[in-house]
Amino acid sequence: MSAENALPRVKIGIRDSGVGGLTVARRVREALPDADLLYFADTAHLPYGDKSPAEVTHYALSICDFLLERGAQILVFACNTTSAYALDAARQRFSVPIFGVIEPGARVAAQVSGGKIGVLATAATVASGIYNREIARFNPASEVCEIGCPAFVPLVEAHKADSPEAFEACRYYLAPLLRFGADTVILGCTHYPLLLPALQKAAPDVHFVDPAQAVAREVAAHATPLPRQSDAKATFYVSGEREGVENWIRALLCIENPQLERGPVFDFLHSRTSLLPFSPSS
């Protein structure tokens, strides 16, 4: 096919607070190897788990604008906290398909569990109650126990996912879920699949659900498949600390020389109302 007649390639924008969303990007890339990826790691505001809903929503909508300006046709919230607090606002504001990670994970867990489901997530995701509500939609008889895991994201971002410290953290957070009797545990943060070996070692009889594969299937169903013209492109934007991001990209996406660019830092304090889809009084 000549350059003049080449079809435009689908471009998918993926955003997260750090490197955890790369676990979703990996599955999307496997499902859509010919798609171009735009990935935004908002490391300037990491972690999202201790942010207010308004702050998380502001960052999410700002990054959506940024990715859409660069041609994204599909957006993926590769972050459970953002999916819990900002997905509805983003769908109101933007006309492109936008996918979160919570509904797919809840659906899979409800299908495979014997009735007791545990959720490991950030404090913000647990506080939102979103997994309880979503699981109840798919299986009202399921019992759910959610545990906030504030130590997990810092461990992953510090490249300590396979450390003794990480294993002890996994044992600590899994203990109440095992007492509860959970046979299935949702990894309710996209950083957490990087702790899966330690989690499986700490709870070998538990079925762990990583929502990334289900998300990738949904994205692929909405993307128009195009013939291969050249190698798909992937561009990575990092708003803050970049150290270690490049190594994670190499490890998870097998991209030897990733294209990293400095992304903007969105200031919540000075412009927190500018991107809200509606005013509090509406």
pLDDT tens column, 166-201: 999 999 999 999 999 999 999 999 999 999 999 999
Residue 270 has pLDDT above 50, yes or no: no
> Is 1 a domain residue?
no
The answer to whether 189 is a known catalytic residue is yes
Residue 74 has pLDDT above 80, yes or no: yes
Same domain as 95, residue 220: yes
Task: Give the residue-averaged pLDDT of 240-256.
Answer: 87
Task: Say how many domains are in the chain.
Answer: 2
Same domain as 203, residue 75: no
- Selecting among 64, 79, 149, 170, the annotated active-site residue is 79
How far are the Cα atoms of 75, 228, 264 from residue 68, in angstroms, in the given order? 8, 23, 14
User: What is the pLDDT, as a whole number, of residue 158?
Assistant: 87
Q: How far apart are CA 279 and CA 82, in angstroms?
A: 19
β-sheet bridge partners, residue 188? 121
List the structure tokens of 243.
């150290």
Same domain as 178, residue 246: no
User: What is the pLDDT, as a whole number, of residue 256?
Assistant: 87
CB 64 within 8 A of CB 90: yes
Question: Among residues 210, 243, 263, which one ends one of the domains?
Answer: 210
Other Cβ atoms within 10 Å of 146 Cβ, number: 22
User: What is the pLDDT, as a whole number, of residue 90?
Assistant: 98
Same domain as 107, residue 87: no
68, 72, 63: which is closest to 37 by C-alpha?
72
Residue range(s) defining the domain that contains residue 144:
102-210
The answer to whether 145 is a known catalytic residue is no
Q: How far apart are CA 272 and CA 267, in angstroms?
A: 8
Q: How far apart are CA 202 and CA 172, in angstroms?
A: 9
Other Cβ atoms within 10 Å of 116 Cβ, number: 16
> Is 276 a domain residue?
no
- Selecting among 64, 149, 170, 189, the annotated active-site residue is 189
In this structure, what CATH number is given to the domain that contains residue 74?
Answer: 3.40.50.1860
Work out the angle between the directed axes of helices 102-112 and 212-222 (0-180°, nearest 10). 120
> Is 200 a domain residue?
yes
User: What is the pLDDT, as a whole number, of residue 227?
Assistant: 63
Is the pTM above the cut of 0.75? yes
3-class secondary-structure state, position 234: strand
How far are the Cα atoms of 154, 193, 198 from residue 201, in angstroms, in the given order? 20, 13, 5
Q: Between vectors from CA 121 to CA 115 and to CA 125, what angle results, nearest 5°?
A: 100
> Is 282 a domain residue?
no
